[in-house]
Structure 1
């Protein structure tokens, strides 16, 4: 189980939104680089970055901030938000990003995503954001008629490195993750599933770690609101992994 501390970027600052609403943004750090270094010092194995401005604009916006983070840390970084064409995917992969997350284009341009998975094996992650089981796109501003499971199954053979599944109704609200839906998805497809949205404390981490089909979890607001420490989350994940090996 991998714990992914999250950095969401808006106007070059580290923020958290509530349910993807840009008007409900709380600034937690004006220096994303300092935040990334803090995560690294705390033992993070990965950092998860979302360019929020980019998600709404349909193109990468916080390029300088992302590049600065990548240059500042020695752990892998995955980036999503507004990445809609192969040239931008290539740009990020050539500038130190380990994995690129594709969201809106999984619905709007699935052939591009499948080509990307074929061209950059194990470096493409699918970002599937859903509310009431329906996939949302364009920074969650549009809800499609495609179900979460349908979209995941459509890309089953593409060879994506993972799927980040976010339950929009819980994101940024500290209400607890939708473990039931996440486990259902993880059992439905072979692609590794990373849970996102709603982590409120260490018990949520324990519950997810005890759900074997789920391969990782993204933690954001709970870290910034100090409901949980990254060190504690990593310790739980390590203990669960050790316990699974002994079993």
Structure 2
């Protein structure tokens, strides 16, 4: 199972939110490049990077610092947050990202998603952010009319290979992840699922690995010290992640 340590960016700083609430923000570092390099030094291969300003308002306000993170860390960086046009996809890929994550655009513009998957294949993943069983959009500030399972079925038919699935109710609480949800998803669909939200302990990682998930995102638990990245990598078969 692949591990994706996470950096969420607002105004060039590495932050974490609680349940996606922008009013409940903790700044963990004003130097996200250093944070990314620290993950690399611990043995990470991948990085999950979200521009929270982009997610809420669109645009690429943190593009230059994301470019610097890719260059300086040497990590394989996937980027999400406000990616709603092909121009933005191209900007991030040209900045060195190995994969971009569509969220709001995938929900609101399925024809755009089809075109981008056709053109960029597995360089395009989709973030499915779930609140009360429905898919949330625009930085988790609004609910769509799409249920989680119906939407994932559509994504599979379109040809999406990787889905990053976040249970918003678990995010940032350090209270465990939604194992039942990920088990259901992995049983029902033939895509690569990445678990996100509430992964708090090495035991959580172990349980997700038993389900057979493609990957999991490690967020707040890394910043608080609840999970040691080196130990997590060792647990996931000791492979370079």
TM over 0.5: yes
- Distance (Å, rounded) in 2 between the aligned partners of 1:90 and 1:153: 27
2:215 counterpart residue number = 216
Q: Could you say what secondary structure the match of 1:118 adopts?
A: helix
SS in 1 for 2:159: coil
1:169 is matched with which residue? 169
User: Distance in 2 between the 1:182 and 1:193 partners?
Assistant: 8
Deviations 1:109-158 (A, max 9, x none): 11111111110111011000001210000111111121111111101133
Q: Structure 2: any 5+ residue segments left out of the alignment?
A: none
Asked if residue 226 in structure 1 is aligned to residue 225 in structure 2, the reply is yes
Which whole-Å CA distance do the structure 1 matches of 2:186 and 2:114 have between them? 20
CA contact (8 A) 2:99 2:125 kept: yes
Q: How does 1:71-90 map to 2 (within 5 A)?
A: 71-90=71-90
The TM-score normalised by the length of structure 1 is 0.94
Give the alignment of 1:182-221 within 5 angstroms.
182-212=182-212, 214-221=213-220
Aligned to 1:45: 45
Query: Whole-Å Cα distance in 2 between the matches of residues 186 and 86 of structure 1?
Result: 29
Equivalent residue number for residue 245 of structure 1: none
CA apart distance, 1:191:
1.2
- 1:56 aligned counterpart, secondary structure: helix
Match of 2:146 in 1: 146
Cα-to-partner distance string for 1:142-176 (whole Å, 9 max, x where unaligned): 11121111111101133323100000000011111
> Unpaired segments of 5 or more residues in structure 1?
242-247
* Matched position secondary structure for 2:67: helix
State the alpha-carbon separation in 2 of the partners of residues 194 and 143 from structure 1. Answer: 21
> Would you say the 8 A contact 1:170–1:198 is kept in 2?
yes
What does 1:122-141 align with in structure 2 at a 5 Å threshold?
Answer: 122-141=122-141
SS at match of 1:228: coil
8 A Cα contact 2:63 2:92, kept in partner: no
> Normalising by the residue count of structure 2, what TM-score does the alignment of the two structures yield?
0.96
| Residue in 2 that maps onto 1:244 | none
Q: Separation in 1 of the partners of 2:50 and 2:159?
A: 22
- Partner residue, 2:59: 59
Give, in angstroms, the shift of residue 65 of structure 1: 1.5
The answer to whether the Cα contact below 8 Å between 1:123 and 1:160 also exists between their aligned partners in 2 is no
Asked whether the 8 Å contact 1:9–1:15 carries over to 2, the reply is yes
2: CA distance, partners of 1:108 / 1:181 = 23
Distance 2:87 2:67 in 1: 16
**1: distance between equivalents of 2:59 and 2:187?**
33
Aligned residue in 2 for 1:7: 7
The alignment of Structure 1 onto Structure 2 pairs a total of residues equal to: 239
The CA RMSD over aligned residues, in Å, is: 1.1
Instruction: For 1:157 and 1:57, locate their aligned partners in 2 and report how far apart those are by CA, in whole Å.
Output: 29
